[in-house]
């Protein structure tokens, strides 16, 4: 088994990190994938980093586990900031959505190109998708207004507040969410707990 190398004292600065294989990485040169790897390392070995964190105000409480090292240590904060900035370039702006997705009620295609049947989505996935549609309703309305819809397509969108709630996609998602049984929600809740446990173990989110 390869020896794990760490430099926990790096938690007190925000310029570089030593990977578990001994490689020293300057954060300014790290791409999105490497930043994700660094974040997993920081998560998996958070106890070591927490005990090395030095801060006269909260250092002792972080070391004792009373406060989350990720919310206070410079290295964690900088990695999180860079991850967020890297993700912004990979997110699909609402205005880039294929308007045809809003005008049908069978599938959803994610920004990564994965298409799933709406009936196969988990309750959590449906709720997250409904929330995303609601938050971006204005932008989606603008994108649809710029599209060359036929009269029939335009009639498929009914008046609603927010606007997106009147689209066939949203209406079907809301219908499926309302039809979820207690058993489906319980199974989904157990699945989310299992995902959280796996994340705590590995620092990586498993598939839904």
Q: What are the pLDDT digits (tens) for 95-125?
A: 678 889 999 999 998 766 778 899 999 898 8
Give the model's confidence band at 91: pLDDT under 50 very low, under 70 low, under 90 confident, else very high: low
The answer to whether position 190 is within a domain reads yes
Residue tagged 């397509």 (tokens): 153
Higher-scoring residue by pLDDT: 203, 128: 128
Same domain assignment for residues 157 and 197: yes
Q: Determine what percent of the chain is predicted with pLDDT higher than 70.
A: 88
Same domain assignment for residues 64 and 146: no
Q: Are 118 and 175 in contact (CB under 8 A)?
A: no
SS (H, E, C) the chain: CCCCCCCHHHHHCCCEEECCCCCEEEHHHCCHHHHHHHHHHHHHCHHHHHHHCCCCCCHHHHHCCCCCHHHCCHHHHHHHHHHHHHHHCCCCCHHHCCHHHHCCCCEEECCCCCEEEHHHCCHHHHHHHHHHHHHCHHHHHHHHHHCCCCHHHHHCCCCCCCHHHHCHHHHHHHHHHHHCCHHHHHHHHHHHHHHHHHHHHHCCCCCC
> Which of residues 68, 88, 108 is at a domain's end?
88
* pLDDT for residue 207: 58
Same domain assignment for residues 191 and 124: yes
- Which whole number is the average pLDDT over 80-91? 76
Same domain assignment for residues 198 and 124: yes
The answer to whether position 1 is within a domain reads no
Same domain assignment for residues 100 and 70: no
> Which of residues 88, 116, 143 is at a domain's end?
88
- Residue 42 pLDDT exceeds 60: yes
Tell me the pLDDT tens digit for each residue of 45-83. Answer: 999 999 999 999 999 999 999 999 999 999 999 999 888
Count up the domains in the chain and report the number: 2
The answer to whether position 82 is within a domain reads yes
The domain in which residue 125 lies consists of: 94-202
The answer to whether position 3 is within a domain reads no
Same domain assignment for residues 22 and 45: yes
Q: Are 3 and 55 in contact (CB under 8 A)?
A: no
The answer to whether position 14 is within a domain reads yes
The answer to whether position 208 is within a domain reads no
- Residue 155 pLDDT exceeds 70: yes
- Residue 144 pLDDT exceeds 70: yes
* pLDDT for residue 51: 95
- Which whole number is the average pLDDT over 140-164? 92
> Which of residues 36, 62, 88 is at a domain's end?
88
- Which whole number is the average pLDDT over 183-192? 84
* pLDDT for residue 134: 94
Same domain assignment for residues 114 and 71: no
Same domain assignment for residues 99 and 198: yes
Same domain assignment for residues 124 and 140: yes
- Residue 1 pLDDT exceeds 50: no
The answer to whether position 176 is within a domain reads yes
Same domain assignment for residues 98 and 66: no
- Residue 199 pLDDT exceeds 80: no
Same domain assignment for residues 148 and 170: yes
Same domain assignment for residues 154 and 64: no
The answer to whether position 207 is within a domain reads no
């Amino acid at each position: 088994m390869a020896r794990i190398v760490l430099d926990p004292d790096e938690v007190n600065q925000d310029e570089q990190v030593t990977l578990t294989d001994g490689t020293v990485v300057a954060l300014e040169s790290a791409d999105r994938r490497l930043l994700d790897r660094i974040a997993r390392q920081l998560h998996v070995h958070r106890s070591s980093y927490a005990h090395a964190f030095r801060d006269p105000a909260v250092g002792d409480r972080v070391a004792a586990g009373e406060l989350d090292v990720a919310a206070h240590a410079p290295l964690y904060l900088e990695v999180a900031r860079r991850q967020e900035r890297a993700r912004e370039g990979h997110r699909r702006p609402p205005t880039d959505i294929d308007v045809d997705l809003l005008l049908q009620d069978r599938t959803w295609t994610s920004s990564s190109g994965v298409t799933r049947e709406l009936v196969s989505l988990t309750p959590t996935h449906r709720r997250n998708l409904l929330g995303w549609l609601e938050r971006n309703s204005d932008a989606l309305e603008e994108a649809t207004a710029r599209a060359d819809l036929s009269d029939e397509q335009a009639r498929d969108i009914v008046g609603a507040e927010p606007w997106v709630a009147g689209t066939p996609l949203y209406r079907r998602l809301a219908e499926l969410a309302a039809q979820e049984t207690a058993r489906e929600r319980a199974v989904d809740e157990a699945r989310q707990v299992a995902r959280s446990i796996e994340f705590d173990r590995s620092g990586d989110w498993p598939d839904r």
